[in-house]
Chain A
Amino acid sequence: MNSKVTGGIKPKHQRLVLLLIALVALIGAGLLAAYALSNQASYFYVPADLAKAPPEQGRAIRLGGMVEKGSLKTRADGVTIDFIVGDGKARIPVRYTGITPDLFVEGSGVVAEGRMEGNTFVADNLLAKHDENYVPRQMGEMTAEQAKQVVAETQ
């Protein structure tokens, strides 16, 4: 066959080379993804887990539990709040700067996205139960046992 234009590669080989390149790239993507996922996925914690085995500082995690009654305080700037999230076993102080969701009140469940800084959980985002029909998925992520504890605590 005419091999002038293709630099002497046989057609079979060309297909093989292309296939090889594509495979290498895709496997590379897979490995990269696996590596990054194990480092970057954000885990869900309840206060007890967080107290028992704290994650490294600054790592993105989510914290779910109940907002302790009487713990909610607004700072002088009017937009930063401090409160305590508990699950009956441990209590974690949380700081959040921003507009709170509508149904965020003391004694209700909350999921906070953020990270540990010192002994305080600094939240970037709060997810509260929106209404009876539209519950954030994360609220449903507590295991049955955790949920039971949380409910028992509030009653």
Chain B
Amino acid sequence: MIAEIGLAVLWMAAALAVLQLFAGFSALRPGGKALAGMVRPLAVMQGLLVALSFLALIDLFLETDLSVKLVAENSHSMKPFIFKLAGTWGNHEGSMLLWVTIMAVSGGVVALVEKRLREDTLLATLAGQAFVSLGFYAFLLLSSNPFERLPEPAPEGAGLNPLLQDIGLAFHPPTLYVGYVGLSVAFSFAIGALITRDVGPAFARAMRPWVLGAWIFLTVGITAGSYWAYYTLGWGGWWFWDPVENASLMPWLAATALLHSASVLASRNALRAWTVMLGVIAFSMSMVGTFLVRSGILTSVHAFAVDPERGSFILALLAIYIGGALALFGIRASTVTEGERFSLFSREASLVFNNVMLCGILGIVLLGTLYPLMTEAFGAKVSVGPPYFNPVSAIFAIPMMLMMGVGPLLRWRKDKPARITATVAIPALITALALLAVVVFAPGIRILPMLGIAVGAGLAIASWLPLNGRNLRRTPLSVWGMVVGHFGLGVALLGAASESAFSTERLAAMNVGDTQSVGPISLKLLSIEPVAGPNWTALEATVSASYKGGPAVTLHPQARTFSSPPGERTESALHTRWNGQLYAVLGNEGDDGRWQMRFWWKPFVPLLWLGGLLVAFGGLLALIGRVAQDVKRLRVNDKIAFRKARQDMLK
């Protein structure tokens, strides 16, 4: 019964989306005002219905209702509770329902709380959101129905891919999706503003918090995903330039650019067409990512099922939405009037520079991701990896990060270089000193990590300089957000560069009782014993580790064997210190009875994820600051309007 309710509610929501699109559009036509009042309630209702449908699917997974095809194929009655719950979106259909849920709910939230935008632009935006949602409703209902029943209930479920049976599954996909799909709001805003020709500071101020919100989730999602890959794959790497990782990075790059250009539009009424364009590109990148992942043309642990029909469906959606939005942009871009001008030496110019750099990185990642597909058309099988992505993206990333040290110090519109030279000298000196120190004390490390350490150190310092000369108590939260966000990026860069430059690895075959060392850490294999979990058995090694002869800690790396579905997974063990992380992996038993063990000492690697979280935290501060500002402004406006109305009455 639950499955039927879920499906029915989903169809109803799709019907409401049709109504919402129709009502929104006719409300914009002359004489269509009668329907204008319907649009907001429709959007809210639609969000509620889809959320209900998603809850129904969660319930089916929690109960392990094996008469539902999706549950039978992806769940198992013996699975721990948390994976039954997270298993809801650990498959193609469930994750698409999550996608549609987030899209509809964010549309509903916009309808409920957005009061800054001009009413006609808001109606156009909600109509746009309904239009985009419709494609995904069609995709879900016609080719990926999550509620399909089996003719006869399965005796037992097939279980979940062992690689996904990790606590990361509970957090990483939902966070990433909120960010990914949250960008659809920016897309709809851009469409709405193009339709009503309302591209201006008020529009940018209204759009900014939505972009910020999505961007924060995207940042957290990417950071969490990177950490998950790091500890679960057992290769000690944190970013593999896997197409799926790129699919999440590309919307992030576009959203970062959008965030900054929206700032320029909101404060200075410049970069109008550019901002709208980025709004379109950001969500387009989300859709391209989904296409790459879900069409089956790229296979990875993220591609649940290879189904060419689905691939063509998403490709068609992609063509309609991206093509349509770009066409609309082409038609309307010339009517978006000229923005304010600025000098080549100004805050705007620095933001333009970094926008272009971000787009350059975006282009490079996109080309690198699509290249294997393009060559495959000509029969050559290639793969593109770090030797391409690292240096080529650094060519754009390094100037961008240098500019990040300067830009926030500049004044809007026009500034003199002489005013900031003394301030910029501090981080410049630190960058030079860091570079010198690395060259002198750690010769032989490669050029990219070397530059990374120098630029990261400079940026970490430079990010605080905009606070120089400000009264810290009266500094707006959004400025703090910028400072913390930029600082976070510097910290992350330091962590990444240090990991790449100074990691040491030890690979050894060990008997119980043998000792080894990696970097400053001495290790001893104490025992290897079998252990068992709810749906797996494992061999667990006990290793004691001591840092420079200090007190010993024990680590328990495991090699797990899963029963349903059958599969193996290494469970690495980590020990985190303030200055680095020890990473231990248990391998196979050799013919001579020795165990393969792999250890890494990675100095300062936790800074990488700490930096990522700081970036997100900076975004959160900015979001709180902006929303508080807007609420205040709305209150003041209300008050003024109220007084005015009273005065009119008295007259």
- Are B298 and A137 interface neighbours, CB within 8 A? yes
Within 8 Å by CB of A98, from B298, B341, B387, B598, lies: B598
Closest-by-CB residue of B relative to A140 is B299
Q: How many residues of A contact B (CB 8 A)?
A: 48
Complex contacts, A36 vs chain B, CB 8 Å: 388, 391-392
Of the candidate stretches A13-21, A84-92, A147-155, the one touching chain B is A13-21
Q: Which chain A residues border B446 with CB–CB below 8 Å?
A: none
Is the C-beta of B368 less than 8 angstroms from some C-beta in chain A?
Answer: yes
Q: For the complex, give the distance between the alpha carbons of A98 and B360 in Å.
A: 37
Residue of A nearest to B297 (CB): A137
Interface residues of A in 27-54 (CB under 8 A from B): 28-30, 32-34, 36-37, 40-44
Contact with A along B233-244 (1 / 0, CB 8 A): 011000000000
CA distance A14 to B367 in the complex (A): 30
The majority secondary structure among interface residues of chain B is: mixed
> Quick one: closest B residue to A21, CB to CB?
B356
Please report the C-alpha to C-alpha distance between residue A140 and residue B296 in the assembled complex, in whole angstroms: 12
Nearest CB in chain A to that of B158: its residue: A133
CB neighbours of A137 from chain B (8 A): 298-300
Contacts of A11 in B (CB 8 A): 338, 341
- Nearest-CB distance from B511 to chain A (Å)? 10
Q: Within 8 Å of chain A (Cβ to Cβ): is B473?
A: no
Query: Once bound together, how far apart are the Cα atoms of A30 and B396, in whole Å?
Result: 12
Which residues of the partner chain A approach B507 to less than 8 Å between Cβ atoms? Answer: 79, 97-99
B360 touches A25 (CB 8 A): yes
Tell me which residues across on chain B come within 8 A of A26, comparing CB atoms: 356, 359-360, 363
CB distance from A99 to the nearest CB of B (A): 3
A88 to B385, CA, bound (A): 29
- Asked if B371 CB lies within 8 Å of chain A CBs, one says yes
Q: Can you pick out 15 interface pairs between chain A and chain B where the beta carbons lie within 8 Å of each other? A: A11-B341, A25-B356, A25-B357, A25-B360, A26-B359, A36-B391, A40-B388, A41-B384, A60-B385, A78-B508, A79-B508, A100-B588, A131-B565, A133-B161, A140-B299
Binding site for B on A (CB under 8 A): 5-7, 9, 11-12, 14-15, 18, 21-22, 25-26, 28-30, 32-34, 36-37, 40-44, 60, 62, 74, 77-79, 97-100, 102, 125, 130-131, 133-138, 140-141
Chain B residues close to A by CB (< 8 Å): 161, 163, 234-235, 274, 298-301, 338, 341-344, 352, 356-357, 359-361, 363-364, 367-368, 371-372, 375, 380-385, 387-388, 391-392, 395-396, 413-414, 507-509, 565-568, 570, 585, 587-588, 590-592, 594, 596, 598
Which 10 A-B pairs give the minimum distances between C-beta atoms? A78-B509, A99-B587, A44-B381, A40-B388, A29-B360, A41-B382, A137-B299, A6-B341, A33-B367, A102-B568
